[in-house]
């Protein structure tokens, strides 16, 4: 019998090496190579066959149009993130920190789907049937079409799945699943990859929509190789602080819809509740009488969301000034502070700067730049901005304001929520319809925008 071989596999990219290395030669990550033993039998199964294997190549016009069937999950925010519902035979990976609510949301979805008459199989590799039942009781999910199974072996799961023939299946979590023909431990790169491939084949051949729960590493990526994200059809991430009740579900990859769609939930004692009015919720706890608070309208996918940026600027007492940000990339903050200093004559070199975005939101689009700069300026000058002001615009290195996408949609949202004084890049004013009653001011530079706000007339804060 051939001897089992030891290989080292990178947990980031799946690169295989024959000996241990500190740095992966393929993706360059450090300390990601993990030792795995490989049984000789497993090695022969290298070739992965895609569904529809053996089919003839066809001109694209002759490929039959198959309408992708979408079924509603019963949770509108989840449907939105998925691009309009659950697609038959698709595979969705749901990642997020432990305790953030992945199992809760998927249990609620399972209950909703089974309530409509379809069967759902919820496979848990982490919890016993009793634990699943306890959660389901709490969520009021006791439908007859809701099947549960506590199992880790993928081939047994396949058997049970064939007997239940569900329309939707949840696998919680992929890191606890194993295949007996692979010798490495569950959660290792080979197991995760092969189990996903196995379940993927099941999903594609049976038409069952599959939801995989994926654990995340300390760095926030889904544990296991990146290839996992490449294999599945959609990747959803739960964001948000466990200590706050709001959770944000974001699509980072979606073969059936647009990415960067976002769904907002609130964790309650009866499970995850949808938050349809994200803007109202985020703005509800806004401080009205403090400097450094600026409202902005961010686009999350197709949806405008208003939130507020808070900045606190305080003199540095000792050593280097501190810069901290939550919800904004700190290197973007460094850049904006440099622009403020050089192009808008606002010295912050001897000031500590703290930035926070309300509700645990993360702002990734540059359209938030102007609001961040204005919040810093407002705090450093101790100037209160009017309660009905909202700002948007990308700030360039020359201090110029650049146009933001979807300006009209953003203005409508601002108007809807009662923000009628808007500062936006001048180039955005061309060719858009300004909502009635709105005072939209176009500014060419950051300096101009801050001048409009009266930053330079205000006295600097000594406090």
What are φ and ψ of residue 103, in 5° steps? -65, -40
| Bond before 222 cis per omega within 30 degrees | no
CB of 103 to Mg ion, least distance (A): 3
Least CB distance from residue 158 to Mg ion, whole Å? 22
Choice between 210 and 346, CB closer to ligand TYD: 210
Q: Minimum CB separation from ligand TYD for residue 359, in Å?
A: 17
CB of 126 to ligand TYD, least distance (A): 8
Nearest residue (CB) to ligand TYD, 135 versus 193:
135
By a kind-dependent CB cut-off of 5 to 8 A, residue 101 interacts, out of Mg ion, ligand TYD, none, with ligand TYD
- The binder of 176, among Mg ion, ligand TYD, none, by C-beta within 5 to 8 A per type, is none
Interacting partner of 320 out of Mg ion, ligand TYD, none (Cβ under 5 to 8 A depending on kind)? none
Q: Which residues bind Mg ion (CB under 5 A)?
A: 103
Rounded distance, CA 452 to CA 383, Å? Answer: 13
Closest approach, Cβ 378 to ligand TYD, in A, equals 36
Cβ of residue 274: shortest distance to ligand TYD, in angstroms? 14
Nearer to ligand TYD, 139 or 438 (CB): 139
In which element (H, E) is residue 429 found? none
CA atoms within 13 A on the CB side of 48: 11
Is residue 293 within a helix (H) or strand (E), and if so which, with residue range? strand 293-300
**Which of Mg ion, ligand TYD, none lies near 458, with the C-beta cut-off 5 to 8 A by kind?**
none
DSSP 111-147: HHHHHTT--EEEEESSS-HHHHHHHHHHHT---TTEE
Q: Alpha-carbon distance 144 to 136, whole Å?
A: 12
Cα distances (angstroms) measured from residue 184 to each of 43, 110, 176 = 12, 31, 12
3-state class of 389 per DSSP?
strand
Nearer to ligand TYD, 88 or 274 (CB): 274
Calpha distance 73→108 (Å, rounded): 9
Three-class SS of residue 315? strand
- Closer residue to Mg ion in complex, CB, 89/96: 96
Residues found near ligand TYD in the complex (CB under 6 A): 96, 98-104, 135, 138-139, 267, 269-271
Least distance (Å) between residue 269 CB and ligand TYD: 5
* DSSP secondary structure letters along 295-312: EEEEEETTEEEEEEEEEE
270 binds, among ligand TYD, Mg ion, none (CB under 5 to 8 A by kind): ligand TYD
* 208 binding partner (options ligand TYD, Mg ion, none; Cβ < 5 to 8 Å by kind): none
DSSP run (H or E) holding 74: none
Smallest gap from Cβ 185 to ligand TYD, in A, equals 21
Closer residue to ligand TYD in complex, CB, 237/419: 237
Q: State the binding partner of 104 from Mg ion, ligand TYD, none, CB within 5 to 8 A by kind.
A: ligand TYD
Cβ-proximal residue to Mg ion, closest one? 103
Burial annotation 370-385 (CB, 10 A radius, 16+ → b, else e): bbbbbbbbbbbbbbeb
Q: Which is nearer to Mg ion, 32 or 103 (CB)?
A: 103
**Cβ nearer to Mg ion, comparing 103 with 421:** 103
Identify what 271 binds: ligand TYD, Mg ion, none; CB under 5 to 8 Å per kind: ligand TYD
Q: How many CB atoms lie within 10 A of CB 283?
A: 19
Is the torsion defined by CA of 102, 108, 111, 113 positive or negative? negative
How many other CB atoms sit within 10 Å of the CB of residue 186?
18
């Amino acid at each position: 019998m051939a001897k089992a071989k030891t290989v080292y596999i990178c947990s980031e990219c799946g690169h295989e090496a024959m000996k241990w290395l500190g740095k992966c030669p393929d993706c360059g990550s450090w300390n990601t190579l993990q030792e795995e033993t490989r049984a000789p039998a497993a090695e022969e199964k290298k070739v992965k066959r895609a569904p529809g294997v053996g089919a003839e190549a066809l001109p694209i016009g002759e490929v039959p149009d198959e309408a992708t069937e979408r079924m509603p999950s019963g949770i509108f925010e989840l449907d939105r993130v998925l691009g309009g519902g659950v697609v038959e035979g698709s595979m969705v990976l749901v990642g997020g920190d432990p305790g953030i609510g992945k199992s809760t949301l998927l249990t609620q979805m399972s209950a909703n789907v089974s309530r409509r008459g379809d069967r759902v199989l919820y496979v848990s590799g982490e919890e016993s049937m009793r634990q699943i039942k306890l959660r389901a009781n709490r969520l009021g999910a006791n439908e007859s079409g809701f099947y549960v199974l506590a199992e880790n072996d993928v081939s047994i799961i396949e058997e049970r799945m064939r007997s239940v023939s569900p329309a939707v299946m949840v696998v919680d979590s992929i890191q606890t699943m194993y295949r007996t023909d692979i010798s490495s431990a569950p959660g290792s790169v080979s197991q995760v990859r092969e189990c996903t491939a196995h379940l993927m084949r099941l999903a594609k051949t049976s038409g069952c929509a599959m939801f995989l729960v994926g654990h995340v590493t300390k760095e926030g990526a889904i544990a296991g190789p990146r290839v996992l994200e490449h294999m599945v059809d959609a990747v959803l991430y739960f964001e948000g602080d466990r200590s706050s009740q709001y959770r944000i579900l974001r699509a980072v990859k979606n073969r059936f819809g647009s990415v960067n769609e976002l769904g907002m939930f609130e964790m309650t004692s009866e499970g995850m509740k949808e938050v349809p009015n994200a803007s109202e919720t985020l703005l509800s706890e806004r401080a009205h009488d403090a400097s450094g608070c600026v409202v902005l309208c961010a686009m999350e996918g197709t949806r405008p969301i208003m939130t507020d940026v808070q900045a606190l600027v305080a003199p540095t007492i000792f050593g280097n000034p501190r810069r901290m940000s939550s919800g904004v990339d700190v290197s973007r903050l460094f850049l904006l502070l440099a622009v403020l200093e050089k192009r808008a004559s606002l010295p912050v070199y001897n000031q500590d700067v703290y930035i926070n975005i309300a509700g645990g939101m993360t702002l990734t689009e540059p359209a938030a730049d102007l609001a961040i700069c204005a919040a810093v300026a407002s705090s450093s000058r101790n100037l209160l901005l009017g309660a009905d002001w909202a700002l948007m615009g990308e700030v360039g290195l020359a201090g110029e304001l650049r146009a933001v996408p979807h300006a009209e949609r953003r203005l409508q949202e601002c108007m809807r929520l009662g923000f009628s004084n808007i500062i936006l890049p001048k180039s955005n004013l061309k060719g858009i319809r300004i909502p009635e009653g709105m005072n939209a001011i176009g500014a060419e530079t950051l300096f101009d925008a801050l001048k409009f706000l009266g930053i330079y007339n205000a006295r600097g804060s000594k406090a």
